[in-house]
Amino acid sequence: MVWIYWIASLTIVTYFSAYIVKRYSEVGFATLTAMYVLYLTASQIFATRIVVFDLKLYRFFAPSAIFIYPFISQAIDMINEVYGRRKTHLAIFIAFVSQILLITFILMMNSLSPAPFFRYEEPWKALFTLSIRITVASWISFLICQNLDALVFDFLKNRFHRQVWLRSVASDVIDLTLDSVIFVTLAFLGTMPILPLIIGQIVSKNVIGFLDTPWFLWYKKLITGKTTGG
């Protein structure tokens, strides 16, 4: 069922993004950046839930947010493809500020006294105390990996302009792999076995990241009306 949700949502956001960028280019950057921020914020919440990732031949554990990470990578590639590297770094900065606000809001809510009839205070604190560490870990990995993604994508775009798939896949593999190592180590060291999580994240993120490549090629075709180079 998760794959049905994933395919449906990726199809919707890809078509919607291309439609806005092509028909309303003056708000395209703002729209893509807003979606980028939404994906990033959602990933902070979903990263607290560790799930079984079953490839049939091999089973491992990874944060449920692995299904959101390709959306993040695709959004930053969508921005870079149309608006260039400088606007991409701006989007990354905007997203980073949003995450600072997120952690501030969590701290603000946790400083309030719960109502005596609120029965979920301990689960709430357990979830969002962990989220603070996860968010801080994501800040570091985010700033490193997303900016690196932007640089690699831009370099390959200028060097191999027709090979759209190459810049999408290569930048995402570097981003998702390095992010897995940095994020898991900082977020879960001392609380969970990090090696299985790192391996799980690297494999699962890159499998899903590779699977979303046709949607990025479709996005490119929708905004240009041309097929992509091989």
With beta carbons less than 8 A apart as the criterion, state whether 20 and 27 touch. Answer: yes
For the cut 70, the answer to whether the pLDDT of residue 8 exceeds it is: yes
CA distance 53 to 184: 16
The structure's pTM equals 0.84
Query: In this structure, what CATH number is given to the domain that contains residue 202?
Result: 1.10.1760
Question: Is residue 229, in this structure, part of any structural domain at all?
Answer: no
CA distance 92 to 66: 19
CA distance 78 to 165: 12
Domain housing 52: 2-224
Question: Is residue 230, in this structure, part of any structural domain at all?
Answer: no
* Alpha helices for the chain (secondary structure H): 2-23, 25-46, 69-110, 121-159, 164-188, 194-211, 213-224
pLDDT digits (tens, 9 = 90+) for 150-188: 999 999 999 988 889 899 999 989 988 998 899 889 888
With beta carbons less than 8 A apart as the criterion, state whether 186 and 150 touch. Answer: no
Number of domains into which the chain is organized: 1
Question: Is residue 186, in this structure, part of any structural domain at all?
Answer: yes
For the cut 90, the answer to whether the pLDDT of residue 36 exceeds it is: yes
For the cut 90, the answer to whether the pLDDT of residue 129 exceeds it is: no
